[in-house]
């Protein structure tokens, strides 16, 4: 093989098999909170990047919600210029170390990779993660755009999750005076309260928040917009010229079945917030968490996977996913389901909970379920699960975690007079992400309903562009 | 970081803090609370805002030492800092003109009802306050609450201060006395006490507002840990409350859910007390 990577012929590139991401042993890792994936070695990353055929009309880019120049950065990785690759990604994506870990690449960029036709796609997510980590480990902060002309205008981003910090970063680079308001005591939103350490190490989020501050963004924690201060107050009294609402969805759904208020039933939001943000797994932390021995997690999304894998790490003997549809309909990323299986998580598919059973002291003692079968497709296009009469059974357990989705939290929307919402309580925004209130923009889950980190970031970027346009009129 | 500008001991295990939190002070309405963390590793705990000073941008919190977090808080001194103060949270108190209102505080609940008494009096009500406690040393805010009340009754389990008995004994005397018509009751304290008060007023149809204190994490309706059952429906005390119609609350469920972390709390408390004692040696 040629020593000059970019002189490789297409045939030579095609001959390289997809490289493997090294990961920790399933049993070993399921007892601690250290990261599961270990990242690619430099030579492995170069070899994987060489697999990219440098398509003239790259489909992968179309599959990326923020349109990263994927062949461009893969070429730089293949050449060994990892820092240049990182900078190229950062033109379109402010959080590559995050998205390289949590994006569902298999249904986005990698799904459209031309190499899918004859084998495996280029491991775009792993390469993205590799270059972002390389940049971080070499203590090179992303190029500061020094000497940016200040616009003299103020923008407030409400929420410090993926949408809020992306928007804030973009606007700071354009010369705006940006303040991010966060309700919790720590910035990062779902990246710190929701996604566990073993999938998204907090030091990565912390580094990105530091990058944001280095750009001059002001972050105010402990501010609950809607309570501590309202949007009209921000605009009228504090003279913000525009506001971006990126508060997330943030209202836990419950099943409305008997026994849901027994001791030992958590929403996934509560369970994960205790475990992640409040670090309940750390003996030094004062925040308590119920450590179940047999844990049932209800739901089939990424949040359910995060919760069930967390319960194992908090000492459960058996952790069980209870999902009413079949494996095929599970919305979780393929990798998360696979990792959960490696960690000996049990899957009870086509199973719906009927009642949480309690003991004489009001603690959870079991989950009464019924088996389901798939019927006709429903509105979501997925086959509707229907109960099989007489198939009721009980799973013994001492902890139940409800991870069946979230709704729109009304705290901010109710305290913003005149803000137009849809019938589910989500904010209505136009194609420029502006709401019906001039100067007030919105994006991420509070507009879309529960979606992904990368879609929220895409909204943050788009909102920043449109806020810039709006304020440059 | 939120500076402690004043600290005062009100009684055994009861401390009053005045904390600089200008945004909270500016927005707070009667009945709202904050969630605080004493230090970087503390848990988040909800505390009623007893008072605010919008000129100095300070809020007043009254804290009873009941576990590790609150014990640790007492080691913070004037000039020191709370790591986090977030709020104001919850719905403001529903304040209306009823006529005569019985304001009942059990133990630390007195700090919760004090601002209600102030607001209710401003709304033109006659205020009859009842402070209940196990024993004399646990009676707090007697003077302060007395200063906004037309009548103040202190009642203790052991009779060491005021009358001997329970707040319900004092309330029963009031409502059964034809001279003192009680038009509404505002009540905060131990759940068992609020339940007893609500049971007493139910047959007489006296509107009874109780302030609930379930376990919370975020205080913004995000975790659902503070869910309570009101009239058979699920409500989140942090955003729908903390005050509810006492005749509709499922008190038994709340009492039970409050036991969730008792084991953990006792363990942490004992460990921390040991540490403090060792430190003093």
Instruction: Say how far apart CA B54 and CA B114 lie, in whole Å.
Output: 18
- Asked if A288 contacts B264 with a C-beta cutoff of 8 angstroms, the reply is yes
Q: Is the pLDDT of residue A141 over 70?
A: no
Q: Is the pLDDT of residue A325 over 60?
A: yes
pLDDT digits (tens, 9 = 90+) for B141-191: 899 999 999 999 999 999 999 999 999 999 999 999 888 889 999 999 999
Tokens of B72: 């640790």
Instruction: Say how far apart CA A346 and CA A337 lie, in whole Å.
Output: 11
Instruction: Say how far apart CA A289 and CA A273 lie, in whole Å.
Output: 10
Nearest Cα residue to A371 out of A358, A354, A396, A346: A354
Mean pLDDT (whole number) for A348-355: 97
Q: Is the pLDDT of residue A67 over 50?
A: yes
Backbone angles phi, psi at B94, to 5 degrees: -85, 110
Q: Which residues of B touch A250 (CB under 8 A)?
A: 220-222
- Beta strands B100-106 and B126-133, pairing class: parallel
Q: For a pLDDT cut of 70, what percent of chain A falls above it?
A: 97
Q: Which residues of B touch A290 (CB under 8 A)?
A: 260
The CA-atom distances, in angstroms, between B41 and each of B69, B72, B159 are: 10, 11, 41
Instruction: Say how far apart CA A300 and CA A302 lie, in whole Å.
Output: 7
List the single residue in A with minimal CA-CA distance to B256: A362
Q: Which of B42, B88, B217 sits opposite A273 (nearest CB)?
A: B217
Start-to-end C-alpha separation, chain B:
30
The answer to whether residue A236 neighbours chain B at the CB level (below 8 Å) is no
Q: Is the pLDDT of residue A144 over 60?
A: no
Q: Which residues of A touch B255 (CB under 8 A)?
A: none
pLDDT digits (tens, 9 = 90+) for A369-424: 999 999 888 888 888 899 999 999 999 999 999 999 999 999 999 999 999 999 99
Instruction: Say how far apart CA B204 and CA B278 lie, in whole Å.
Output: 55
Which carries the bigger pLDDT value, residue B199 or residue B70? B199
Q: Is the pLDDT of residue B136 over 70?
A: yes
| Tokens 């750390």 belong to residue | A282
Q: For a pLDDT cut of 70, what percent of chain B falls above it?
A: 98
pLDDT of residue A4: 57
Collapsing DSSP to helix, strand or coil, A434 comes out as strand
Instruction: Say how far apart CA A233 and CA A417 lie, in whole Å.
Output: 12
Pairs from A373-377 (Cβ < 8 Å, separation ≥ 24): A374/A325, A374/A326, A374/A350
Nearest Cα residue to A88 out of A53, A121, A126, A132: A132
Mean pLDDT (whole number) for A43-49: 96
**Cβ-based neighbour number of residue B11 at 10 Å:** 16
Instruction: Say how far apart CA A16 and CA A50 lie, in whole Å.
Output: 8
The H or E element containing residue B197 is helix B191-201
pLDDT of residue B72: 87
Write out residues 365-424 of A within 8 Å (CB-CB) of B.
409-411
Tokens of A60: 């992968």
- Asked if A93 contacts A68 with a C-beta cutoff of 8 angstroms, the reply is yes
* Shortest Cα–Cα distance, B208 to chain A (Å): 24
pLDDT digits (tens, 9 = 90+) for A247-271: 999 899 999 999 999 999 999 999 9
Collapsing DSSP to helix, strand or coil, A396 comes out as strand
pLDDT of residue A224: 97
Q: Is the pLDDT of residue B274 over 70?
A: yes
Collapsing DSSP to helix, strand or coil, B240 comes out as helix
The CA-atom distances, in angstroms, between B31 and each of A109, A168, B88, B186, B235 are: 51, 34, 9, 11, 17
Instruction: Say how far apart CA A58 and CA A69 lie, in whole Å.
Output: 9
Q: Is the pLDDT of residue B278 over 70?
A: no
The mean of the pLDDT values for chain A is 93
The CA-atom distances, in angstroms, between A131 and each of A20, A38, A62, B81 are: 16, 13, 21, 40
Q: Which residues of B touch A251 (CB under 8 A)?
A: 221-222
pLDDT of residue A358: 97
Mean pLDDT (whole number) for A21-45: 93
Q: Is the pLDDT of residue A3 over 50?
A: no
Q: Which residues of B touch A274 (CB under 8 A)?
A: 217
List the single residue in A with minimal CA-CA distance to B239: A411
Is the Cβ pair A267, B43 closer than 8 Å?
A: no
* Shortest Cα–Cα distance, B79 to chain A (Å): 20
pLDDT of residue A2: 42
Mean pLDDT (whole number) for A183-187: 96
Q: For a pLDDT cut of 90, what percent of chain B falls above it?
A: 78
Q: Which residues of B touch A362 (CB under 8 A)?
A: 256, 259
Q: Which of A227, A256, A362 sits opposite B27 (nearest CB)?
A: A227
List the single residue in A with minimal CA-CA distance to B225: A270
Instruction: Say how far apart CA A438 and CA A473 lie, in whole Å.
Output: 13
pLDDT of residue A140: 66
Is the Cβ pair A410, B221 closer than 8 Å?
A: yes
Our separate counts of H helices and E strands in chain A read 19, 16
- In the sheet that holds B14-20, the strands lie side by side as B81-82, B2-11, B14-20, B58-64, B45-53, B33-37, B84-89
| Tokens 């507002």 belong to residue | B209
Instruction: Say how far apart CA B220 and CA B237 lie, in whole Å.
Output: 10
Q: Which residues of A touch B88 (CB under 8 A)?
A: 227-228
Q: Which residues of B touch A409 (CB under 8 A)?
A: 220-222
The mean of the pLDDT values for chain B is 92
pLDDT digits (tens, 9 = 90+) for B36-57: 999 988 999 999 999 999 999 9
> Which ipTM score applies to this complex?
0.92
pLDDT of residue A146: 58
- Asked if B46 contacts B30 with a C-beta cutoff of 8 angstroms, the reply is no
Is the Cβ pair A273, B224 closer than 8 Å?
A: no
Q: Which of A263, A278, A285 sits opposite B260 (nearest CB)?
A: A263
The CA-atom distances, in angstroms, between A406 and each of A252, A366, A451 are: 5, 24, 10
**Cβ-based neighbour number of residue A410 at 10 Å:** 15
Instruction: Say how far apart CA B98 and CA B123 lie, in whole Å.
Output: 9
B281 pLDDT band (50/70/90 cuts)?
very low
- Beta strands A383-387 and A154-158, pairing class: unpaired
DSSP A363: B
pLDDT of residue B69: 84
Write out residues 288-307 of A within 8 Å (CB-CB) of B.
288, 290
pLDDT of residue B41: 87
pLDDT digits (tens, 9 = 90+) for A114-134: 999 888 999 999 999 999 999
The CA-atom distances, in angstroms, between A235 and each of A93, A181, A309, A403, A434 are: 29, 14, 43, 36, 15
Tokens of A121: 């796609």
**Cβ-based neighbour number of residue B217 at 10 Å:** 25
Is it true that the peptide bond before B88 is cis, omega within 30 degrees of 0? yes
Q: Is the pLDDT of residue B265 over 90?
A: no
Is the Cβ pair A250, B221 closer than 8 Å?
A: yes
Q: Which of A261, A266, A274 sits opposite B253 (nearest CB)?
A: A261
Instruction: Say how far apart CA B61 and CA B281 lie, in whole Å.
Output: 31
Which neighbouring-strand residues pair with A440? A243
Our separate counts of H helices and E strands in chain B read 9, 16
- Asked if A402 contacts A260 with a C-beta cutoff of 8 angstroms, the reply is yes
């Amino acid at each position: 093989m040629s020593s000059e990577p970019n002189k490789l012929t297409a045939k030579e590139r095609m001959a390289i098999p997809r490289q493997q991401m090294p990961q920790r042993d399933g049993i070993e890792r399921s007892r601690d909170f250290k990261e599961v994936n270990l990242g690619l070695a430099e030579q492995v990353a170069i070899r994987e990047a060489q697999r990219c055929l440098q398509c003239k009309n790259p489909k992968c880019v179309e599959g990326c919600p923020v349109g990263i120049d994927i062949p461009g950065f893969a070429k730089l990785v293949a050449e060994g210029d990892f820092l240049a690759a990182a900078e190229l990604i950062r033109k379109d994506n402010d959080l590559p170390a995050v998205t390289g870990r949590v994006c569902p690449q298999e249904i986005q960029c990698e799904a459209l990779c031309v190499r899918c036709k004859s084998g495996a796609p280029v491991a775009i997510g792993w390469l993205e993660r590799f270059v972002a980590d390389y940049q971080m480990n070499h203590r090179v902060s992303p190029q500061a755009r020094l000497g940016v002309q200040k616009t003299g205008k103020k923008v407030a981003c409400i929420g410090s999750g993926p949408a809020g910090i992306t928007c804030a970063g973009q606007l700071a680079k354009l010369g705006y005076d940006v303040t991010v308001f966060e309700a919790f005591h720590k910035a990062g939103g779902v990246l710190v309260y929701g996604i566990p350490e073993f999938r998204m190490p907090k030091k990565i989020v912390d580094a990105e928040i530091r990058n944001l501050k280095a750009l001059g963004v002001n972050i105010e924690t402990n501010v609950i917009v809607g309570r501590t201060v309202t949007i009209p107050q921000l605009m009228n009294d504090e003279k913000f010229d525009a506001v971006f609402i990126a508060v997330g969805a943030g209202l836990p759904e419950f099943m409305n079945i008997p026994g849901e208020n027994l001791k030992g039933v958590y929403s996934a939001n509560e369970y994960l917030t205790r475990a992640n943000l409040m670090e309940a797994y750390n003996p030094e932390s004062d925040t308590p968490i119920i450590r179940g021995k047999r844990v049932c997690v209800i739901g089939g999304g990424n949040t359910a996977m995060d919760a069930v894998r967390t319960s194992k790490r908090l000492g459960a003997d058996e952790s069980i996913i209870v999902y009413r549809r079949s494996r095929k309909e599970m919305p979780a990323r393929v990798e998360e389901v696979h990792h959960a299986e490696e960690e000996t998580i049990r899957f009870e598919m086509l199973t719906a909970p009927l009642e949480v059973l309690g003991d004489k002291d009001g603690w959870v003692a079991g989950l009464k379920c019924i088996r389901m079968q798939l019927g006709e497709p429903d509105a979501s296009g997925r086959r509707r699960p229907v109960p099989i009469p007489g198939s009721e059974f009980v799973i013994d357990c001492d902890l139940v975690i409800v991870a069946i989705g979230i709704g729109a939290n009304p705290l901010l929307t109710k305290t913003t007079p005149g803000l137009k919402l849809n019938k589910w309580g989500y904010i209505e925004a136009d194609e420029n992400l502006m709401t019906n209130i001039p100067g007030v923009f919105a994006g991420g889950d509070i507009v879309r309903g529960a979606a992904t980190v990368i879609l929220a970031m895409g909204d943050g970027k788009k909102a920043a562009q449109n806020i810039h346009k709006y304020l440059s009129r | 970081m939120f500076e402690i500008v004043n600290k005062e001991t009100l009684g055994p295990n009861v401390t009053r803090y005045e904390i600089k939190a200008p945004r909270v002070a500016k927005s707070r309405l009667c009945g709202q609370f904050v969630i605080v963390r004493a230090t970087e590793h503390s848990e988040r705990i909800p505390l009623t805002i007893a008072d605010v000073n919008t000129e100095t941008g300070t809020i007043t919190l009254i804290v009873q030492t009941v576990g590790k977090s609150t014990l640790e808080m007492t080691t913070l001194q004037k000039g020191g800092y709370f790591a986090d103060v977030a709020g104001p949270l919850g719905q403001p108190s529903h304040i209306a003109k009823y006529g005569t209102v019985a304001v009942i505080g059990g133990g630390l609940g007195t700090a919760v009802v004090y601002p209600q008494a102030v607001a209710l009096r401003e709304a033109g009500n006659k205020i009859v306050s009842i402070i209940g406690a196990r024993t004399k040393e646990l009676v707090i805010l007697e003077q302060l609450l007395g200063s906004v009340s037309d009548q103040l009754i202190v009642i203790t389990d052991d009779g060491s201060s005021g009358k001997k008995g329970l707040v319900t004994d004092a309330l029963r005397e009031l409502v059964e006395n034809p001279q003192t018509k009680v038009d509404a009751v505002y009540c905060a304290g131990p759940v068992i006490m609020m339940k007893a008060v609500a049971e007493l007023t139910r047959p007489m149809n006296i509107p009874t507002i109780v302030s609930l204190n379930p376990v919370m994490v975020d205080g913004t309706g995000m975790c659902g840990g503070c869910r309570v059952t009101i009239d058979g429906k699920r409500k989140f005390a942090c955003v729908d409350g903390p005050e509810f119609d006492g005749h509709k609350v499922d008190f038994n469920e709340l009492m039970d859910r409050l036991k969730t972390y008792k084991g953990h709390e006792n363990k942490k408390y004992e460990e921390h007390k040991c540490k403090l004692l060792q430190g003093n040696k």
